[in-house]
Amino acid sequence: MKKQIPKFQSETEERLFWQQHDSSEYFDWSDGEEVVFSRLKPTTRKISLRLPESMIEELKLLANKRDVPYQSLLKIFLSERIDSELRH
């Protein structure tokens, strides 16, 4: 018999609870199924980033060749590099 999940007053309270408790005491993960949330967009946060003007212009040229906005291309470049670094 698994433990009963308490009622939470807020998302913050629930988040704190799961940080401090082992979910396997409340769920039988052997019954779990893998699910893909294909329409779920990651939360984004605006940042300020200072770059040399020449770098921005080069980035815009590269983005124009690929027919994408330069900020999107920058996110692609960052994502690829992060993935590469994490694999090593």
Q: What is the pTM of this model?
A: 0.54
Q: Is residue 26 part of a domain?
A: no
Number of domains in the chain: 1
43 contacts 20 by C-beta, under 8 angstroms: no
Q: Is residue 64 part of a domain?
A: yes
| pLDDT higher than 80, residue 46 | yes
Cα–Cα distance measured from residue 25 to residue 42, given in angstroms and rounded to the nearest whole number: 29
Q: Is residue 83 part of a domain?
A: yes
Report residue 31's pLDDT band, with 50, 70 and 90 as the boundaries.
confident
Q: Is residue 86 part of a domain?
A: yes
Q: Is residue 28 part of a domain?
A: no
**Which residues span the domain enclosing 62?**
50-88
Instruction: Kindly compute the dihedral angle of the four CA atoms of residues 32, 34, 36, 40, in this order, to the nearest 10 degrees.
Output: 40
